[in-house]
A and B are shown apart, each in its own frame.
Chain A
Amino acid sequence: MSNWIAAHLWLIPVVPLAASFAILSLTNSRRSLAASLAVCGQVVAFVLSLAAFWPTLQTPGYRAFHNFTWFTFGEQALRLGFVLDPLAAVMLIMITLVSLCIFVFSVGYMAADEHFTRFFAYLSFFSAAMLGVVIANSLLLLFICWELVGLASYLLIGFWIHKPSAAAAAKKAFITTRIGDLGFFLGMLWLYGRSGTLLFYDGGNGALEQTALLSLGASATFIALLIFCGAVGKSGQFPLHVWLPDAMEGPTPVSALIHAATMVAAGVFLVARVYPLFSLGALHGVTASLTVVVWIGVITALISALIALAQPDIKRILAYSTVSQLGLMMVSLGVGGVAAGIMHLLAHGFFKALLFLGSGSVIHACHDEQDIRHMGGLRRVMPVTFVTYAIGMMALSGVPLFFSGAWTKEEILHATSLWSPSRVPYWLMLIGVVLTALYMTRQMIYVFFGPRRTAAEHAHESPPVMTLPLIMLAFCAIVFSVVLTPAWPWLHDYLSGERPILNFGLFIQQALYLALVLVALGVGLGILIYRRASEIDPVERALPPVFHFLRNRMWLDELYDRTVLALARFAAQLSDFLDRYLWDGIVRFLGALAQLFASLTKGFDEGGINARVDDTADAARGFGQLISRVQSGQVQVYLSVIALGMVALLIFYAWLT
C-alpha cells in the first residue's frame, strides 16, 4: 500500500487535471455535470492524499521518491521525479481539503455566472498545478508546475475579462510574478551547472543531499537568493507584493484559492523545500541568505499590516492580511523555524480560506458591494456567516487557546525571539500581531456591527451550499489546533521527523500570556477607535495624512510607476525611436540600393535581351503578314490560279514532247 502510493503519487495532480480537461470539452449548458466533475476530481485527490499521508505517519522522517528519465540528450539524462515526505503529505491534505470546500462554495457563488463550466475547469487546473508543485522531486518539475500555477492564476484573476480592471490585474499578477520567476530560473540553471542534477533526493546524489551540497560551497548563497526571488514573486513579498491585492479582481472563490491553498503557499513551500540550500554552512542557524529572508519577511509583514488598516474594500483588507501573514511565515523560515512556518501556512490555509469565503458570502448578500463602509449590522441577518467569520478572525488575530492561528503564531514568535543576530524582528513581529488584531476588529465592526448602511439593507443569509463549506472550514480552523499545542506538538515533530511526546506541563507557556496581552491590546484598541464608526473612518478624521498615505498603499504602486515602469517606458520609447529611425533607416537604405540595382538589371534585360527576342518575333510576324496577302479569300481567284497552273502544266508537257 505505502509503496503503491509513493510510486503512483502522480495520480494526485493528474486526477484534477483530467477533470479540468473533461470540463473544458463540455458545452456551457452542462453546469451540474461540470461542477460534479470538478468536485469529484477533488474528492478523489483528497482520498489519494489521505492514502499518501498514511505511510508518512508510520515512520518518523519518512521519505519516498520515485524518479524517472524524462529525456536524454547526449550523455546527460534529464530526470524528473516525485517525492513523498511529511512536508508534501500535509500540504497535499491541506490543498485538497481547502480546494474541496472552495469548489463546493463556488457552486453557490458562481451559480448566476454565464461561464460557469469554464470557471470549474480553471479551478481544477489551478489545484492540479499546485498539487504538482508539492509532489515534485525535481526543481525543474517544480518550476514547470509553478509556471502552470501562474498561468492558472492569470486565467482566474482575469476571469471577468470584460472588466478592464480585471484584465489589468491578471496581467499585473502574471508579469510581477514573472520577474521573480526569472530569478528562480537563473538560480535553477546555476544549481544545475554546479551540481549537475535538479533532483532533490536521489539516494545520495540529489541536489539537496550531502555530496551535492558540499560541492556547491559559497555559490549556495547566491543560488538560494535567486530561488528566493521566485518565492518573493509568488508569495507576494515586498517589493513584489503589489499584484496580490489587485488579484482581488477575480471572483471571490479564486481569491480564496490563491490566498489560502495554492499560489501564495507555493512560495513559502518552495523555501521550505530547498531549505538545505539556505541553511548550508549555517553558524548558529544564521546564513546570509536566511538573513535576507528574515528582513524581507519582516518588512512585508509590517508594511502590509499597516496598509490593511486603511483599506475600505473587504477583500483587499484580507489580501493585505495574507501578505502580512506570508511575511510572518518567511520570518519563521528565515530564523530557522521551518516547521513553525509550515504549520502557520497550513493553519493560515484553513482560516484564510474561511475568511475569504465568508467575505464572498457577505459580498453575495450585499449584491456585489465590497466597500465595508456601506455594510454594517449583518450579524443578525447572516448568523452563520457571522459566527464562522468571527472564528476566522480570531484564528487570524491569534486569540489564544482555541484557535489554530494562535498556536502557530506563538511558535513563530518563540523562534524569532531566539534569533541571535538581532532582536528587532521579534519586536516588530509583536507590533505586527497587535496590528493584525486591530485591522480585523475594524473589519468586523464595520461589516457585522453598528447600523445597517445602504448595501446591507436587503442582505440575507447565503444558501447551504455556501454556508456548509464555511462551517467545515471553521471546524478545521478550531480542531486543527489540537495537533499544534506545545503540550502535544504533534505536527511540529511530524514535520521535523521526531516522535511527539505528550506533556501537559508545557501547555501554558510564557508566550501564551504575551499573545493574550497583545491580542487583547489590538482588539481593545480596535473597539475603542471604531466603536462609533461611520462612513468616514475615525483614523481619517484624526490623522488625515497618515490615513491617506496608507489608503494609497504607501504610494508604492505610484513609486513603481514613476521609477521602474517609467524606465521601462523610456527604454521602450528609445527602442521605438532607434527602430523607427536608425534601424529602419539602414533597412530603407539597403532597400533603395536593391531597388537601384534592380532597375539597372531591368534596363539591361529589356534593352539588351528582350529587344533582340522581340525583333525576331517582329520579323517573323511581318513576313507572315506579307505572305498572308496571297490568301485573298476570293474563291474565284483560287480557281483561276488552279486553271492557270493546269494550262502551264499542259504547255510544259507539250514543250517536253
Chain B
Amino acid sequence: MTPTLQLFLIISAALFCIGLLAALSRRHAIFILIGIEMMLAAAGLNFIAFWRFGPQPAPPTGVMITIFAIAIAAAEAAVGLALVIAVYRHYRTTNVDQIDQLKG
C-alpha cells in the first residue's frame, strides 16, 4: 500500500477526533490539555501532508510551520499546566465540572 494524501488526511482526522473526544469527555483538566495537544498534532500532520504531496520541488514551508507550531504548543502546554496548578491550589480539585464559578 503506497502512502497517499488521503491516508494521511484520514489519520489526521482520526487523531483530531480522538483529541476532540478526549477534550470533551474527560473530567480531569490535564487530560483535556492532552486532548488539545492531540488536536494540535493532527493539524501539524495536515501541514506536513499537504506540503509532501504538493508540487515538488517546493520550499520547506510545511515543515517550518509545524516546527513553529510545536514550539508554540510547548509554551501553551506550560501555560496550561501552570493554570491547572493555580486552579488546583484555589479549588483543591482539578475536576472541571466543579469549576463553574463563571456561570451566569
Smallest CB–CB gap between A623 and chain B, Å? Answer: 12
- B24 contacts A633, C-beta separation under 8 Å: no
Residue of B nearest to A635 (CB): B96
Residues of chain A at the chain B interface (Cβ within 8 Å): 625, 627-636, 639-640, 643
* Partner pick for A633 among B23, B32, B101, CB 8 A cutoff: B101
* Inter-chain contact A631/B24, CB cutoff 8 Å: no
Taking a contact as CB atoms under 8 Å apart, the answer to whether B104 and A634 are in contact is: no
With A628-B104, A629-B104 given, is the CB distance from A634 to B97 under 8 Å? yes
Q: What are 7 A-B contacts with C-beta separation under 8 Å?
A: A627-B104, A630-B104, A632-B103, A635-B32, A636-B32, A636-B97, A643-B20
Q: Is the CB of B96 within 8 A of A631?
A: no
Q: Which residues of A contact B104 (CB under 8 A)?
A: 625, 627-633
Asked whether B24 lies within 8 Å of A643 as measured between CB atoms, the reply is yes
- CB B94 to nearest CB in A, in angstroms, measures 12
Are the CB atoms of A633 and B100 closer together than 8 Å? yes
Complex interface: chain A residues within 8 A of B81 (CB): none
Complex Cα–Cα for A632 and B101 (A): 9
Contact partner of B24 among A625, A629, A636, CB < 8 A? A636
Measured in the bound complex, the distance between the Cα atoms of B103 and A629 in whole Å is 7
Interface residue? B58 (CB, 8 A): no
User: Once the chains are docked, how many angstroms separate the CA of A538 from the CA of B20?
Assistant: 133
A233 to B29, CA, bound (A): 104
Chain B interface bracket (under 10, 10 to 19, 20 to 34, 35 or more)? 10 to 19
> With the chains together, A198 CA to B23 CA distance in Å?
109
Chain A residue nearest to B26 in the complex (CB)? A636
CB-defined contacts of B25 to chain A, threshold 8 Å: 636
Min CB distance, A583 to chain B, in Å? 63
Q: Please, which residue of chain A has its CB at the minimum distance from the CB of B96?
A: A635
User: How far apart are the CA atoms of A634 and B24 in the complex, in Å?
Assistant: 11
Q: Encode contact with A along B66-104: 1 for CB under 8 Å, 0 otherwise.
A: 000000000000000000000000000000110111111
Assess the A634–B100 pair: CB atoms within 8 A: yes
Give complex CA distance A639, B100 in Å.
14
Please give me the 8 A-B residue pairs with the lowest Cβ-Cβ distance, nearest first.
A628-B104, A633-B100, A633-B103, A631-B104, A633-B102, A635-B96, A632-B103, A631-B103
Task: Report A645 CB to chain B, min CB distance, Å.
Answer: 13
List chain B residues, Cβ under 8 A from A635.
32, 96, 99
Interface centre among B20, B99, B100, B104, by most chain A C-beta atoms within 10 angstroms, is B104
A631 to B103, CA, bound (A): 5
Tell whether, in the assembled complex, residue B96 and residue A636 are in contact, meaning their CB atoms are under 8 Å apart.
yes
Give chain A residues whose Cβ lies under 8 Å from the Cβ of B99.
633, 635
Query: Is the Cβ of A632 less than 8 Å from the Cβ of B24?
Result: no
Given contact pairs A628-B104, A634-B103, enumerate 19 new A-B contacts (beta carbons under 8 Å): A627-B104, A630-B104, A631-B104, A632-B100, A632-B103, A633-B99, A633-B100, A633-B101, A633-B102, A633-B103, A633-B104, A634-B96, A635-B32, A635-B96, A636-B24, A636-B25, A639-B24, A640-B24, A643-B24
